[in-house]
Structure 1
C-alpha cells in the first residue's frame, strides 16, 4: 500500500496543469517571459477586478492600481514577487518614506517571506503604521567579512508584523556615532528573505528590491465568481482575519475578509476559475497499482481493487469475516499503542525542557504548585476547543474558556505553533509563574503536555481587560476615580512584588492595559509572562532582542537592547496615563497620526494644560490634589532618563498613600454624618430646644 501512495505523490509533482485550466480563455497569456494567471489579467474582461489588472510595459508586468513591477506570480503559494523601493538611502536621521499603500486591497506584505533589513551602522531601523511596528539595531563593523550574512554588524534584520498593508520606514541614528559613520549611507527596507540569504544585495546601488506579497480575493469577488468556501478549495486567509479586526461594522468586516484558494490533492488547474480545479485521472499511470489489482479513478483520488477470483471469493466468505474482525481489532489496539507512545514522547520532550529551568521544582505537574492535566479532560472542558469558547486571541495563541468535571471554570491557553522560540516562551511562563504567589498576579493552575502544542491552564478571570474598559464604551461599569486608583495600586503592588519581593527579581517586559485582567470583584490581575525574565539578585539588566508593544516601550531599552526594572516602570507610567486620560498609548492629534501618549502628556504638563487632556470621569469625580500628585508620579515614571525614574516600590508607596488619604476622608465623612444624626435625635427629643441649651439644663 505504501508504494502506490509514493507513486501517486510523484505523479502529482510531475504533472503540470494545462494552460487552458489556469489562464482565462481569449486573454493574453504572458508579459515578456512571465505567465499572467487569472485572477490577474491584461485587458478588460481578463482580470477579476481593478486590484488584479496588469499593465504590460516594455515586456514587464506592473500591477496597474499600485504601479509595482511584478517579478513572478504564484497560484500555488498565493504570492506575487514585486519590485519595491529601497527607503532612506543617504538621508538624515528622522526622515521617513512611505511604502506602497495596500490598504483595502487583497494584498499583504508577507510575514513569512519578508524581513525588515537595515544597512549601515550605529542606527536603529524601524517601520511602523499606527500601533504596528518592527525594528532592529545595527552596530559598526569592526573586523570580519563584511559580505557575510547579516549578524547585526553594519546591518540588522527583523521579522515584520502580521497583516501589514502599509508602513513608514525610517532610521534613528544612535548616540555616540562618530563623524565618519554619520556621513555613511543608511538604508532600511522590507525585502524577500531568500534574496538576502543569497547575498544578492549590493549596499547603496539598489533602488528597488524584491518583496513578497500574500494575496487572495475578497468575499464580494468570491461571490461574483460563483465560488463558495464550501467548495473546499478556498479558506479564509489568517493575515486578513487579523487585519479586519478593526473594521467598523460587521458588514464591512465580512465583505473585506480575504480568501485564498488552492486545488486540493487529486485536482489540478486554477481554483479562481469556475470549475477550474479538475480531477486528475491517476489511472492513466499504468504502474500506479500492482499487477494483481485494477485501478479505478474516483473524484480527487483513485482506488486499487484486487482482480476477482471465484475460488478465493468463496473461501473468503467462509473464512474472511473472523480474520477481518481480528485484523480490525489488532489495528485498533496498534493505534492505541502508537498514540500512547506519541503522548509519552511529547511528555518526555517537554519535561526535559522544564527540567532545564534552574528555578523550577517539578513533581507531578507544571511546577511546585501546578497540576498536570490530560488532553481528554481539556478537550471536554472546552467542547473540543469550540470557537464559541474563545476568550481572546493574541500574538502567542488563543485562550479558551473551559469548565472541568467538578464545575470549576478555567482558561486554557493554546499556542498557535510550537517552534523553538514558542517552546521557550511556554517553558519561561511556567518557570516565572511557579515562583509567584501574589493576589494581583493571575494564577497558573497547571499545564497539559500530551498535545502537539503544550497547553497552559489558568484561573478564569471573568471581566476582561483594563484596555477594554478604558478604550471601549462600557456604560454598565464606568471606571470611577476610586476604581482607577484601586487598579493602579493593585498593579503597582504586583510589579513591586515581582521586582523586590519574589525569590528572584522578575522583569515583566510587557506591562500594558491589555495584560491587566479584572476579576469578578474588578480587582486587577497582571497576566502574560511569556516574555518575562528572572534575573540574579546582583544583576542590573538583561540584554535581549527588542520586543514589546509600541507606545509602552522604554526609549532607552529600544536604543540599547538592555531591559531594566526601570523599563517596567516606564510601561506602568503609560498605564497611569491611560487611567488619567482615557487615551490609547498611540493617539492622533489633528492631522498628526501615531503620536505617543507619553510625549503628548509631557507637552501638556509643560504648557500647564493637564486638565485639558483628562478623562471626563477623572475631571468630574477626582480630587484636584490627588490628580496632580498622580500626574507628577506618571511624569517621573516616563522620564527618558531611566536613572531618574522611581523604583516600583516607591511608586506603590505613593499610590497607597493617596488611597489611604482617600479612605481616611471617607471615614471622617461617615463619622460626621453619624454625629449629625445623633444631634438631630437629641434636638427632636427636647422639643426643638437647641443642643447646647438641653445639655446646659442637665
Structure 2
C-alpha cells in the first residue's frame, strides 16, 4: 500500500496539470489614452466645453492669432465664451465631437420643417434649406449620413447641382399612431435615402401632399441630413422635432490636395509622428494619418509623448499572455514557465503543463514552503509590532500626548500624498528640512514640511514649537497649519498649499525683477505688517516671529501674502516685554540690538520687516557687494541720509510712485530700521501707515498727491517732519559687520 506522501504527490500533480491547461482566448484590444492634453498641440487649449480638440484641429486664440494651434485656418475651432465650439473663425457649424483617427467630425445641422393647423391651413414653415460647407477639407459622410424625412404626410427632397448633379428623396405616410414602429425608419412615419460620396453642399425641401388633414397627431413634416447611428425614431419624435432645431450629422475630413504618395517626403506632410502611417481618404481626394500597429497617440504630432507611443500590451488588465508577457517596441511576446510548453498567447496554444516535478522534490518543496510561509508570517507580525512600538515612541517623543487639537496624519498618508517624497514634488529646501507638494485623496493640495533626520533635539523642538505657535493663530495672511505627523523620527508639518512661491522669488528671481507693481508691493507689505501686528497684539498669546524675511513670505494665486516658518517663533507671556535666547535669525534681517544683547522683543520683528520693505522698494537682496561689503539696510540709510534715495530705488517703483509717496514709504522704512528699538514704531502703527499708502496708490496710481494727502500717520505719532531727508540727514549710522547666522 502506498504511503501518504505518494497520495499527496498524486493529488498535487493533478492540480498542477489542471491549473496548467490554458484555453486559447482572444486578446483584448489595447485601450487608447483619451486624455485631452495628450491630443492637443503642446501649449494650446485642448478642450472647448466638453469637446476634446485634437491637433490638426486647434482652438483659435484671439490674443495670439499666430499661435499655430491648428494645422491650417480650415482646422481652426472658434470656442465661444459659453464653451461651444464652432468650425472655422466665422462659421456657424457647431462641433459635437471630433473622431481623430477615423477622420470624422460630428456637427449639429438645421432641420427643415413644414407645419399645419388641424383645419389644413399652414401655421409655420421653413421647409426649404441650403447647406454649404465653405471649407475645403470637409465633406458630408456618405457612410454615416442619410437623408431623413419624418411625418405622416411628408415628402422630402434633397439635391445638389454645384459640382455633379444628383436629386433624390423619400415619402413618409401614416394614418394611425399605433401603426408607427419604434426604432426603425422604414417609411411609416419616417423614411431615409442614402447620399452620394464627395458631397460638399446640398439643398433640401419638405412639404405635405394633403396639408396633414388626415393625420391629427402629427401636423408637421421634417427633413434633415442625419447620422443614422444617432437616429432613434419612435412615436415621440413627432413632438420632439417641434422644439428641436438641430440634428447631429457626420462630416468626413481629410488633409486635402494630395494623396499619401504625393504628400510623403514633402515639407508639408501631415503624418509627422514616428511610428505613424498614411492612408488615402475613401470619400474623395485627400489623406489621413494613424499610428502603426502597437502604438497609440496623435499621429499628427511630432512628439515622443503626445505622438504615436508604444502600447504596453502587458498591462495587468489587458495582458494577451497566459503567464508571462514581455513588452517590445510596437509589439510583445509571451513565454511559459519551465514546467510548461506552448507559445503562451491567449489567442494561440497557451501554456500546457508537463510532468517534471519528482516525488521527493515535491515533498521537500512543500515542507520548505510551509516552513518559509510560517516563518515569514511570524517575522511579519514581529516587524509590524516593532514598527507600531517605534511609531508610539516617536509619537510620545514629539509631544503627542500634549499636542494641540489639530489633525494627525499617518506617515502612510503623507507618503502617498507626496508620491513617496518624489524629487519632482519639492517646493523648497532649507537647512532644517524640505517642503514637498502633496495631493490628498480628495484632490486638495497641501505642503508637507519634512525635517532632515538629525539627533539634534533642538531641531525636533523647533518643529514642535511651530505646531504650538501656529495652532494658536488664525489670520488670513498667516499660512494655515492643517495638521502634523508625530509617528516619525522627526515630526512632519502639513500646511495649506500656497501656489505662487515666495516673495523673494518674485522680487529677485531670474526674469522676475520688476514684475511687481508699486501698488502690489505696498499691498503685500501692508498684509505682512497686518499679520505681524496681529501676532504682536491681537493673538491670544503674543507671538514674536524672529525670522521675518522675503523667503518666509508666500504668495497665493492672487498675490496675497502668507507669512510662514514659525520654527524660531516664541510665545511671549502678557506680563513680559521680551525674552533672552541664543541668536537665531538670518544675516541681513537680524536686529542689531538683539544681536548685541541677546534679548528679542516685538521691535526685533519691526526691524526685520523694515529690511523686507526696503527689499520691495529697491529690488535688491539684503546682502550684496556694492563698493564695500555692506548690508542693504546700511546702504539704504546712507542713500537716504545723503539725499540719494532715487538712486537706490528700483526703476519701476520710481516710475509708478509720486515723490511724496516714495518719501513717505522711505521714511517708514527708516523708522523701522532705527538702531535703537525704542525709536521704532509698533507693528500696528506700521500696518496703519502702509494701509494708507496702499490706498493712495489706488487713488493716484500715476498723478501727484498733495501734501495734505501725503501726511504720514507715523509722523503724527513720533515725528515732526514728513521728510525722510530732513529727519535723517544728521543721524550717524555705524556700518554693520557682516556675519552669518546658521539656522
TM-score range, shorter chain: 0.3 to 0.5
| Structure 1 length-normalised TM | 0.48
| Structure 2 length-normalised TM | 0.45
Determine which structure has more spread, i.e. the larger CA radius of gyration: 2
Higher helix residue share: 1
